[in-house]
Amino acid sequence: MMKTAKLARLYRVEDGKRFRLKDFDPADTAKLHSKRSARSALEEDIVRMSQLQDKLYAQDRWAVLLILQAMDAAGKDGAIKHVMSGVNPQGCQVYSFKTPSAEELDHDYLWRARRCLPERGKIGLFNRSYYEEVLVVRVHPQLLKNQRIPPPLVTKKIWQERFQDIRAFERYLHRNGTVVRKFFLHVSKEEQKRRFLERLEEPEKHWKFAAADIDERRSWNDYLEAYEDMIRRTATPHAPWYVIPADNKWFTRLILAAAIVDTLEGLHLAYPEVDSEKRKQLQAARSALLKEGS
């Protein structure tokens, strides 16, 4: 099998000028057909991710922000559960962004995300994010009224202005040591239907289903247009998008893990070096312990 890092780079978008969502097949598996070998590669990447996260935490220089966006039933929750299974909880922060609260609506739309940014040495994972403001709000522009933005500021250019804000925000994070990687889990309409039916037919999955899911499905094409424009306008070398095929969960998880490991590898992480004074202290501590009685 091709090295997982190279696999992940097949789905990386750094320059959105020529990006077209139709060029990415939701059912693609990069000609991989062995779930067993993919599972083995995933397990290896999870172990490697754990090792790299330990260095990230110890070095305390970089922060890593991972953003997951997707249509309903694309598998975000399952991907997080499986891919991040080997990460030390002390070094990882996961936030899910749902409908904004009254307090959040009294602030600018980036406010609630800024409050949840990862600290240096940690991995932050956003299950949905500020990108909802150019997705759900764009597909349902009536939601802008809830944000109580002064009317003169709500113009036809508002989406382009938000793209500018987001690019500037991510450039700011990049310049201050927060590495941003964004993932769109690309599921097909047919596969979403199958998963919805599965939720309806299996009692233990009923809790996952909401009537609003069907309403949103009616806006499928509008969402695809919004996603395409979003990726086209916000993909940059320092904050790229990964458009990951999501019809096959085993492949989705493999590529997501590979992209995270590739990102961490690129930071050249290492444990902090100990200076001569610190080594003397360590030696003294060792000697003191050895002199103690049993």
Q: Is CATH 3.40.50.150 what the domain over 4-291 is classified as, yes or no?
A: no
By residue count, the chain amounts to 294
Distance, CA of 3 to CA of 89 (rounded, Å) = 27
Task: Return the pLDDT at 147.
Answer: 92
Query: Which residue stretches of the chain have pLDDT < 70?
Result: 1-2, 293-294
Whether the CB-CB separation of 16 and 233 falls below 8 Å is answered with: yes
Task: Return the pLDDT at 209.
Answer: 77
Q: Of 118, 158, 120, which is closest to residue 138 (Cα–Cα)?
A: 158
Query: What's the chain look like in SS3?
Result: CCCHHHHHHCCEECCHHHCCHHHCCCCCCCCCCCHHHHHHHHHHHHHHHHHHHHHHHHHCCCEEEEEEEECCCCCHHHHHHHHCCCCCHHHEEEEECCCCCHHHHCCCCCHHHHCCCCCCCCEEEEECCHHHHHCHHHHCHHHHHHHCCCHHHCCCCHHHHHHHHHHHHHHHHHHCCEEEEEEEEECCHHHHHHHHHHHHHCHHHHHHCCHHHHHHHCCHHHHHHHHHHHHHHHCECCECEEEEECCCHHHHHHHHHHHHHHHHHCCCCCCCCCCHHHHHHHHHHHHHHHHCCC
Task: Return the pLDDT at 294.
Answer: 59
Task: Return the pLDDT at 276.
Answer: 82
Task: Return the pLDDT at 173.
Answer: 98
Q: Of 160, 138, 168, 186, which is closest to residue 236 (Cα–Cα)?
A: 168
Task: Return the pLDDT at 1.
Answer: 54
Task: Return the pLDDT at 2.
Answer: 63
Q: pLDDT (tens digit, 9 = 90+) per residue, 179-212? A: 999 999 999 999 999 999 999 988 877 777 777 8
User: Six-digit token pair at 56?
Assistant: 């990230």
Task: Return the pLDDT at 101.
Answer: 94
HSE at residue 114, side-chain half, CA atoms within 13 A, is 11
